[in-house]
Amino acid sequence: MTQIMEEGQDCTVGCSSECCSEETLSTCKEGGHCKNGSCLQPNAAMTCLRKDAQGNNCCPDDSVSSITITSKLPTTTCCKDGHCEPTDTSYRNLMGTNTQSNKNNCSGTDGEEGNSVPYSDEASAVCGLKRQDVMESKPSTESAPSTECDATEVKTLSQPSGKDAKDTVETVANGPEGIDHREQHGEILETNRKALQNGPGSGSEAKDDEAALDEIVTAIDSFTALDDNQLSFKRGDQIHVISKNNEEWWWAEHNGCYGYIPVNHVSPKTLEELESELWQDDEYFGSYSSLKLQLEMLNDKPRTLAYRTAIEKNAEFLKDKVIMDLGCGTGILSLFCARYGRPNKIYAVEASRMADKAKKLMLYNGYWDVVKVVHDRVENITLPEKVDLIISEWMGTLLLFELMVESVLIARDKFLARGGVMWPSHAKLYLVPCRAQKQYDEKIACWEDQYGFDFSPLIPSAKKEFFGRPVFNHELDLQDCLAEWETVLVMDMKRFRVEELEEITQEFEFQVTREGTFHGFASWFSVDFGGFPSSEPPVVLNTGPEHEMTHWKQDLFMMDQPTAVEEGDSIVGSILIKRNPEWRRHLRVMFTWEVLKAGVRWGTQKQKQFLLWR
């Protein structure tokens, strides 16, 4: 009985040449193993296809007995002293049992001890085959172009490893006698195609992975190959997974080259899906799809009326202009612009499902012909024209939280016409040291006595849980301000750059004007609506404690230890606002500060980081 062998199988009875080419063994005997298109038979005669520098066959007929295939990894075969010896790869952590190790690295230039003789050009191996060269069952009769990671035809598959098309597979467009062997080796090519697809496993595990052969993954970070067995790729590249060897390394193809890729650098999701997750788009835009949040903003009279007033006062400059309302929500700002400004066109851009409701409102209020609602992220859209005004309400906690401002800046760079206007045109962030006795008593001091029991061991945990993040919606009393507030950030929306959002640092020095207990810092912001050549001062929206309350209120950053201060003391330090490198809508805020009495340090310098919110 003849057994038809496939890649990775062991021979139990007489086997046909399905696995083995005429150049190796025509028949696998009992105990043989089909590996990379060749039959490896212990103690059996075999002609090695590799040639040394002089063009002679590398291996004598009996040298195959020295090769033992015990690993699922591909191994480079070196021509040394007339023997084909597998080298030790750098992936010992991936190998169940190492193959016979060779001390040299196949990079020598002579046949002396410790060096390997390089292959001839005819028999050079290829690190990474072009996909078209191995996926066709029968090779073309035309010579393939000589390019990186390319070969005219595959004769035997040695070690696909992803570096260059001149290092792993032998080419035989024209054999030693000058005869075109491509037709007669079509069957061999198909065998090697299977071997390449199965990758380094080549056994039953390769069959198990057959369903994953068409899996495409996305590089979430760039990677540079450390050796010939690895693939280099860049963030965003699409990579074809061939076999999943273990939890850390997969065998894959990219741009026609084959090799290992680190699993923690890739994802089955697209880069757009990944960025959407990191930006929390589903959560973010989902929240703005609710009427509850939209109503909260509409009911914020100081906010909404500031925008309407700015539009009314500059109506003459908006006439016949093109406007973009970015993050339009229900479309209230577009409606203001359409009614008072009489522009030529308004592009109301909204990424959340609220866009559908905005379209209904434009139609119902008779502005469907002026206002075009665009349901998409501004980063994804194209417009047939530039815009004269970009109006948006992008501000959040600590002015920047949610980082919608990045989309505004991107829209500015893509769509704003020369001489165009940004609304808001400027933004400022303010900071002041303050008392917060009520908040401290309710969340921290209360643990000192609970129904006659001492719960103070819980105070450190309480500080972390209640005050590890800023207290938003804080209503700051002017009497709790211990000094005059300072401006720690100024943004000119025509000039501020996206990359500046990554890290913002500002030093401060507050002169204490009111005796009391310093519990932390409070913050708020203001924006103005300038840019047009109006004789009147620009409209200003200020969310501070001396102005009418908005839905933003103020933000409170509670320090861990209250500090008594007196009039004339100084609170000196800095604020660092750093963008979360992973969760891109989130911030980390670091305060560094100390108290000076009569210019002399009192106590030690303190530091605390706040998550906003991750």
AA identity, residue 49: L
Handedness of CA 160, 164, 169, 173 (dihedral sign): positive
- How far apart CA 160 and CA 129 sit, in angstroms, is 7
Instruction: State residue 5 phi and psi, 5-degree precision.
Output: -90, 145
Are the C-beta atoms of 42 and 30 separated by less than 8 Å?
no
HSE on the CB side for 394, CA within 13 Å? 28
- How far apart CA 17 and CA 26 sit, in angstroms, is 5
DSSP 486-533: EEEEEEETTT--GGGGSEEEEEEEEE--S-EEEEEEEEEEEEEE--S-
The pair of three-digit structure tokens given for residue 327, joined into one six-digit string: 């993050």
3-state secondary structure (DSSP) of residue 508? strand
Instruction: State residue 386 phi and psi, 5-degree precision.
Output: -80, 160
- How far apart CA 257 and CA 130 sit, in angstroms, is 6
HSE on the CB side for 564, CA within 13 Å? 0
- How far apart CA 165 and CA 549 sit, in angstroms, is 68
- How far apart CA 488 and CA 592 sit, in angstroms, is 14
- How far apart CA 428 and CA 273 sit, in angstroms, is 33
Radius of gyration, CA atoms only, the chain: 35
Look-up: residue for tokens 């062998």?
5
Look-up: residue for tokens 């963008």?
579
- How far apart CA 586 and CA 583 sit, in angstroms, is 6
The pair of three-digit structure tokens given for residue 460, joined into one six-digit string: 């450190």
The pair of three-digit structure tokens given for residue 384, joined into one six-digit string: 């047939």
What are the start-end ranges of the E strands in 48-173?
77-80, 83-86
AA identity, residue 209: D
Beta-carbon contacts of 459 under 8 Å, excluding residues fewer than 6 positions away, are 444, 447, 448
Residues designated catalytic: 393, 402
What are the start-end ranges of the E strands in 53-147?
77-80, 83-86
The pair of three-digit structure tokens given for residue 248, joined into one six-digit string: 């850390």
Look-up: residue for tokens 């996206």?
498
- How far apart CA 10 and CA 603 sit, in angstroms, is 77
